[in-house]
Structure 1
Amino acid sequence: MQCESIFNRRADVNDNIKPRAIIVGGSLAGLFNAIMLRSIGWQVDIFERTPHALESRGGGIVLQPEVELAFELAGLKDYPDLGVVSHERLFLNDDGSIAQRMHGQQTLTSWPMLYNTMRNAIPDDNYHLNSRLVSVSEEDDSKVTAVFEDGRVVTGDLLIGADGVNSTVRSLMLPGITPDYAGYVAWRGLVKEGELDPEVAELLSQRFVFHQYPGSHILQYLIPAPDGSTRAGDRYFNWVWYRNVSADDLPKLLTDRTGRSRPTSVPPGLAKQESVDEMHVAAKSQLAPQMARLVLATKEPFIQAILDLSVNRMVFGRVILTGDAAFVPRPHTAASTSKAAANAIDLAVALRHGDENLGTVLAHWEQRQIALGERLQSQGQMLGNRSQFPASAQ
């Protein structure tokens, strides 16, 4: 494979002359960039704004080839089985009978599985919590400097904004560019395999199962346990239910049980009980029986607003945007995580074998990544609008 030969020729250079990357954002996009740049000999420091270790950011993830390629190219040879294999897709009728069966294997993984595998590859000295970015500057076009809230000043050769949909780096480079609400939310939840009714569990186990009805759909699949176990009994059923919510009603839904107003999501355990109760009533009347029982068995459902975000620039001198800081594809594409991996792989390849100056290398990288982001955004909008707003999508 051509990419393998590129990364096998990594140069051994002294640490004090290695180029240095400042990565803002310590979740998956930041970690993909970190493992890829380390694999080509760069020094890497990750700066995460939260003061504590990150917790699960959304449960299940459909494993795409870009993620596996990033792990392979980065030399993570000892990573475990990355997910649970689904052997077929089932589409249910309203009464729970099987409307359609499609054979084919797919691997389903989880945020903790990917996060922990990559985080364990980064030395603790290079992963900095409680690091809130304040400003970015380039003084002589040869270095970029980041200033953090606690007064730290860090200088490097490249600053990577991988800090998600509410990116500070994007707000500094492209003030006024913010995500747009798509008109619906995803209710999500996890149920441990042994805690679901056996009859329902038998139908749902190791299958990608859907129930579609006018203006909505729900899906589910098995994922590894939070500790990474893929053994039967340890795994979790992961479900996602898309429900239309007006922009006027969204702030109320995103106000958690403590009264805190949250911008884009309500974490597990913090959704207001009245919101959960309303969702349960709707599940009983709208979902196929197996899906309703799965939803009702969930102890701590959580909420994610579905957003659209795109930029027309990803490179600003020695500052770049990657992952959800630049483009947020809707989850129907199953491509947010794989896009972050693709951004990082292409960047490492470009930097490792770029014969031009850095500006030219990054300009070519930007062109390819914007094309990818725009394609995924268009695809996600088409899929989501067709599901949630079928009348207007015709």
Structure 2
Amino acid sequence: MKHQPLPRAVVIGGSLGGLFAATSLRAAGWHVEVFESSPNQLDTRGGGIVLQPDVLQAARYAGAALPSPAGVRSGERIYLDRGDNIVERLDMPQTQTAWSLLYRAMKDALPAQSLHAGETFVDFEQDGDEVVARFESGRAERGDLLIGADGIRSTLRQRLLPDVTPAYAGYVAWRGLVPEQALPAPAADMLRERFAFQHGDGHSALAYLIPGERDETRVGERRWNWVWYRRYSEDVLTRLLVDRYGMARTGSLPPGMMKQADIDRLRNDAQAELGPTFRALVDSTADPFMQPIVDLRAPRMVFGRALLIGDAAAVPRPHTAGSTAKAAANAHSLALALDLANGSGLSIDERLARWEALQVQRSKQMTDLGISLGKRLMTVAPPLSQRFSAASGISIQTPIR
């Protein structure tokens, strides 16, 4: 008796969104191949993230083995003023982890032969119920499904929706990672086991502990993760995005690429605007990096047998703490919808239509929330009773209220 071949998915993008999609679909009985344009490992990218329930559910479904513990717990949320006085404190336990920890865990859950680095996707064509993805190298890959998980500047989205492009929100996130023992003791004592914030007129900072470079969670081997949101005009942003080698970057400025003059200016600005704890974080960071905050939301996610997930489809502002969770939920729900063993009797196209309707709605809820939170944070310092900030604990498995 001949066995039916497994349905085949071609995933564009080997970052977290693509890895969530690949591992989840494999768990649902699909054969998956992942193509990433970068020839290098991506585990040095990214910083800290809040470990949301959607991420844990997707990892469990996919059979990915997360370290135990998978992050660092914080119990108290504190708000500091310019003089480092605690002006508000809330009991809000949660877990923070590292982007790199999740990346390694999801990547290790896939067979090495299904990951193809250094392959740049350029276009595709639909051939009946199949798609053919074409790459810069001349390679062509055929599948039953083409998944665009290639991020904010998705090539697949550019082909499908050329008018949907990222819109700069008027401010950036400066970020940094500091080895736990490299932070001066007064700042470390203020931050330890806490999720800390400092708000000012038109700027906002936050900080928390995450696992170390190789996922260590032992005291002394972890890292401090900080973010400082600041406003810049588009002209200033364009100058900031020229890296230390003179190359103009369109997306973000990764660690090690920032011009020394800009590092010096950032530290001077921290002296002028931040309290002692957050100034210590900035001063202790060897290689700050920067990410412009953008808004993007595709009106559709499914185009025949091609579809968009994660940041390729919608980008929630980071105040929602939901970008990674959204990518995980997109992938997990897609796998549940396309598990051909579930006996629903629906075709792949019917399943995709149902999946899309719910995911587009969730994307709208999350992006609308992020814009609202950003407006409150980046205008004037909000009253204590109205502060909303990153790590709100939102799960997109249920409607946001």
Report the TM range for the smaller structure's normalisation: over 0.9
Indicate if the aligned counterparts of 2:251 and 2:291 stay in contact, CA closer than 8 A.
yes
Indicate if the aligned counterparts of 2:51 and 2:95 stay in contact, CA closer than 8 A.
yes
User: Pick from 217, 221, 236: which aligns with 2:208?
Assistant: 221
1:185-204 → structure 2 map (5 Å cutoff): 185-204=172-191
Distance 1:41 1:208 in 2: 40
User: Pick from 38, 63, 67: which aligns with 2:51?
Assistant: 63
1:271 aligned residue: 258
1:135 aligned residue: 123
1:334 aligned residue: 321
SS in 2 for 1:107: strand
String of CA shifts for 1:149-173, please: whole Å, max 9, x gaps.
Answer: 1111111110100000010110111
1:85-234 → structure 2 map (5 Å cutoff): 85-140=73-128, 142-234=129-221
1:348 aligned residue: 335
String of CA shifts for 1:168-223, please: whole Å, max 9, x gaps.
Answer: 11011111321000000010001000111112111111210000111111000000
Distance 1:96 1:190 in 2: 21
Shift of 1:391: 9.7
String of CA shifts for 1:126-164, please: whole Å, max 9, x gaps.
Answer: 000011112111122x21111111111111110100000
1:248 aligned residue: 235
Unaligned runs of 5+ in 2: 387-401
Distance 1:347 1:355 in 2: 16
Distance 2:147 2:217 in 1: 33
2:362 aligned residue: 372
Distance 1:192 1:173 in 2: 43
1:363 aligned residue: 353
Number of equivalences: 379
Q: Please tell me the residue identity of whatever aligns with 1:111.
A: W
Shift of 1:78: 6.0
Unaligned runs of 5+ in 1: 1-12
SS in 1 for 2:76: strand
Shift of 1:384: 0.6
Q: Please tell me the residue identity of whatever aligns with 1:69.
A: Q
Indicate if the aligned counterparts of 2:64 and 2:108 stay in contact, CA closer than 8 A.
no
2:37 matched to 1:76?
A: no
SS in 2 for 1:131: coil
SS in 1 for 2:217: coil
2:247 matched to 1:260?
A: yes
Label 1:150 to 1:337 Cα distance change in 2 as closer, same or farther (>3 A). Answer: same
Indicate if the aligned counterparts of 2:309 and 2:330 stay in contact, CA closer than 8 A.
yes
2:374 matched to 1:384?
A: yes
SS in 2 for 1:249: helix
Q: Please tell me the residue identity of whatever aligns with 1:349.
A: L
String of CA shifts for 1:247-274, please: whole Å, max 9, x gaps.
Answer: 1211101111100000021111111111
Shift of 1:355: 2.6
1:316 aligned residue: 303
TM-score after normalising by structure 1: 0.93
1:52 aligned residue: 40
String of CA shifts for 1:299-338, please: whole Å, max 9, x gaps.
Answer: 1001100000011111000000000001000000000000
TM-score after normalising by structure 2: 0.92
Indicate if the aligned counterparts of 2:200 and 2:381 stay in contact, CA closer than 8 A.
no
RMSD (CA atoms): 1.6
Q: Please tell me the residue identity of whatever aligns with 2:77.
A: R
2:278 matched to 1:288?
A: no
SS in 2 for 1:248: helix
Distance 2:182 2:292 in 1: 28
String of CA shifts for 1:96-150, please: whole Å, max 9, x gaps.
Answer: 011111112100001110000010111110000011112111122x211111111
Q: Please tell me the residue identity of whatever aligns with 1:105.
A: P
Distance 1:269 1:150 in 2: 29
Q: Please tell me the residue identity of whatever aligns with 1:241.
A: W
Q: Please tell me the residue identity of whatever aligns with 1:372.
A: R
Indicate if the aligned counterparts of 2:43 and 2:104 stay in contact, CA closer than 8 A.
no
Indicate if the aligned counterparts of 2:13 and 2:151 stay in contact, CA closer than 8 A.
yes
Q: Please tell me the residue identity of whatever aligns with 2:183.
A: L
Distance 2:65 2:207 in 1: 30
Distance 1:23 1:247 in 2: 33
Label 1:385 to 1:362 Cα distance change in 2 as closer, same or farther (>3 A). Answer: same
SS in 2 for 1:356: coil
Distance 2:264 2:64 in 1: 44
Distance 1:187 1:134 in 2: 31
Q: Please tell me the residue identity of whatever aligns with 1:360.
A: E
Indicate if the aligned counterparts of 2:199 and 2:381 stay in contact, CA closer than 8 A.
no
